[in-house]
Amino acid sequence: MLLLLCLLLFWLYYRKSLRRKAEQDKIERALKIAEAEKLAAEKSAQAKISFLARMSHEIRTPMNGVFGMAEALSFTNLDDNQQELLTTLKGSASNLLALLNDVLDFSKMDAGKLTLELVPVNFHQISQNIINSFSHPEKDKSLNFNLRIDKNITHSYFTDPTRLTQVFNNLVSNAVKFTQQGNITLAIVLMERKLVENITYDTLRFSVADTGIGIAKNNQALLFTPFIQADSEITRKYGGTGLGLSICQEIVHAMGGTINLESTEHIGSTFHFTLTFKQSGLEKERIERRNNTRSANCVTDERFKLLRVLVAEDNLVNIMVLNAQLERLNIKADVVNDGAQALVMHNKMPYDIIISDCHMPILDGFELAKKLSSKKTNKPLWLIAITADALSGSAEKCLAAGFDDYIAKPCPQETITNKLNRAYRQLQLQKGVNLSSSSANNYLLFDLQALLKVNNSDLILASKVAQIFADTWQKDRLTLQIALEVKNFETLYALTHKIRGSVRYLCYSPLDSMAQQVENHALVNNEIEVDNFAQPFISQLEQLADEIDHWLASLPKSAGYNP
């Protein structure tokens, strides 16, 4: 009896073990199938990203030629009709590039690779730039553009300026597209302000309203769905990819908000979203050195005269564009068509700056950068990558290969100017060359001799005084700009007066008289005259700061100056 009971228990255990093993096998098969499907999906996603990267490169290369030739035309003498044709050409090229960027941005978001940066951002400046970019007269349209910013918004905030501008651009662009006449209003309102551990957080409501065709209730839910547009008839009439609003929604989601819509057919639409930002604290933050934003250096600027520059590029149109941009900086560059030739040329007689495309025959830019970086020499070399790759990670890939800087195509003159001026400053720091005396006559505003005279020819003391101005100017520039935009004449007067006292022994006379005009008109709240003088005054201070940066970068550390 006991044996029979044991056999029965064993049989039950065995059956249970078989069922458990069968279930486990079933689960394992399901996991294998799921893993295989996951790998297939990842492979498909990677193939899509790789395809888009290749397509981006192939499209951006001729786009660089289009933008470059249009830019070159803009530096020539044009009559009114030619100027209008050029404006249309640049507008069409910008629209084509915007469509390409939409597709690329969607692919990044679809792959979960959307990243956001956090830097101090002035919403007054960003929104005004958006309005200015759309406020040119539209044929057959009568539009009024309005910008309304809460008077309590007086700080800059930590956020991603590129992505936020992208959202504004899309929303305002849609408003312009679907509005024949009436008003388009971009508004920013302060909803709430909180202080958490001595840090101020502001909740802001952003909205773009128009008096356009409006959107039917049954179509509103479709607007944020990728590749789907609300009305096929409207799509045929107005065009578009159906990606713009979807991308805006993804960006706003990543920032912690949601885009909402209020719309009535034949009356208009309002898109709005609410986000919370940390104040950057203009009184406390340390602003990094800004880029030189002049489109080209002065014709008397001879900073690059003694530097050897090489361009490695295999596309003839890109060579023409880049050469023309460099010539506007008084740079005569040598040109080769692949990395192998660049290596040979550099080995014969080393260059100071090499601008290289990343994708070239025989030896590409990445391999060229690796080979050059691995060779230790006493002569400084600055490597700049120029590439049509636009997917995230391209810059990091270039820097990892050994490049010192990165430019994405199509690149305007302003970008080339900024990059080459930065390259010059870095090379001077590496060389430790003292150009304080030889370059004194090359400055248009900075009066080096006067600064040295005031400081009894003490180079170290003079450099410290100049550095204090350069550092202080970063904060003063933002405060001046905001005071000008919000019409705070009291702050504008006080700050201009302070700056005026500082620059009297740093620069030649024109700035002092310009500052006097700003002070006089700010004192009596003369808005029109303040606008006439303040912005040129700020621009001149920008140039002065840039020239001081140039001089400070040229000082050797052996002289006691340590930037």
List, for residues 498-527, the tens digit of each pLDDT value. 887 777 778 765 577 778 888 888 888 888
Q: Mind listing the domains of the chain with CATH numbers?
A: 119-278 (3.30.565.10), 309-431 (3.40.50.2300), 440-559 (1.20.120.160)
Share of the chain above pLDDT 70, in %: 77
Q: What's the pLDDT band for 288 if we cut at 50, 70, 90?
A: very low
Ramachandran category for residue 184: left, alpha or beta (phi over 0 → left; psi -120 to 50 → alpha): beta
The single residue listed with the structure tokens 């890109």 is 318
Query: Is residue 436 scored above 60 in pLDDT?
Result: no
The single residue listed with the structure tokens 């970008």 is 415
pLDDT tens per residue across span 32-69 = 887 887 777 777 766 766 666 666 667 777 777 788 88
Alpha carbon distance 221, 377 (integer Å): 62
Query: Is residue 293 scored above 60 in pLDDT?
Result: no
Query: Is residue 239 scored above 60 in pLDDT?
Result: no
The average pLDDT across 182-191 equals: 92
Q: Which residues contact 336 (CB under 8 A, 6 or more apart)?
A: 310, 311, 312, 342, 345
Mean pLDDT rounded to a whole number for the chain = 77
* Residue-level pLDDT at 496: 84
Q: What's the pLDDT band for 138 if we cut at 50, 70, 90?
A: low
* Residue-level pLDDT at 354: 95
Query: Is residue 310 scored above 90 in pLDDT?
Result: yes
The average pLDDT across 408-430 equals: 80
Query: Is residue 174 scored above 50 in pLDDT?
Result: yes
Q: What's the pLDDT band for 541 if we cut at 50, 70, 90?
A: confident
* Residue-level pLDDT at 390: 58
Which H helix or E strand runs over 235?
helix 232-238
Query: Is residue 243 scored above 50 in pLDDT?
Result: yes
Alpha carbon distance 243, 99 (integer Å): 9
Q: What's the pLDDT band for 313 if we cut at 50, 70, 90?
A: very high
Q: What's the pLDDT band for 108 if we cut at 50, 70, 90?
A: low
* Residue-level pLDDT at 351: 92
For residue 359, give Cα distances in angstroms to 133, 300, 366, 375: 34, 35, 8, 22
Read out DSSP for 200-226? EEEEEEEEEEE-SS---HHHHTTTTST
The single residue listed with the structure tokens 């950057």 is 280
Q: Which residues contact 562 (CB under 8 A, 6 or more apart)?
A: none
Alpha carbon distance 153, 202 (integer Å): 9
The answer to which of 25-34, 175-184, 358-367 has the lowest mean pLDDT is 25-34
Q: Are 298 and 276 in contact (CB under 8 A)?
A: no
* Residue-level pLDDT at 238: 45
Query: Is residue 343 scored above 80 in pLDDT?
Result: yes
**Bigger pLDDT: 449 vs 489:** 489
φ, ψ of residue 17 in degrees (nearest 5): -65, -40
The average pLDDT across 149-153 equals: 89
Sign of CA dihedral 345, 347, 348, 351: positive
Query: Is residue 111 scored above 60 in pLDDT?
Result: no
* Residue-level pLDDT at 340: 92
**Bigger pLDDT: 180 vs 94:** 180
Q: 268, 237, 259, 242: which is closest to 175 by C-alpha?
A: 268
**Bigger pLDDT: 544 vs 12:** 544
Read out DSSP for 517-553? HHHHHHHTT-HHHHHHHHHHHHHHHHHHHHHHHHHHH
Which H helix or E strand runs over 274?
strand 268-278
Query: Is residue 459 scored above 80 in pLDDT?
Result: no
- Give the pairing type, strands 157-159 and 119-121: antiparallel
Q: Are 252 and 171 in contact (CB under 8 A)?
A: no
Helix (H, G, I), strand (E, B) or coil at 229: coil
* Residue-level pLDDT at 117: 72
* Residue-level pLDDT at 291: 38
Q: What's the pLDDT band for 228 if we cut at 50, 70, 90?
A: low
Alpha carbon distance 398, 385 (integer Å): 7
The answer to which of 252-261, 263-272, 541-550 has the lowest mean pLDDT is 541-550
**Bigger pLDDT: 208 vs 424:** 208
Amino acid type, 456 = N
Exposed, middle or buried: residue 291 (CB in 10 Å: 0-12, 13-18, 19+)? middle
Q: Are 556 and 541 in contact (CB under 8 A)?
A: no
Query: Is residue 284 scored above 50 in pLDDT?
Result: no
Sign of CA dihedral 457, 458, 460, 466: negative
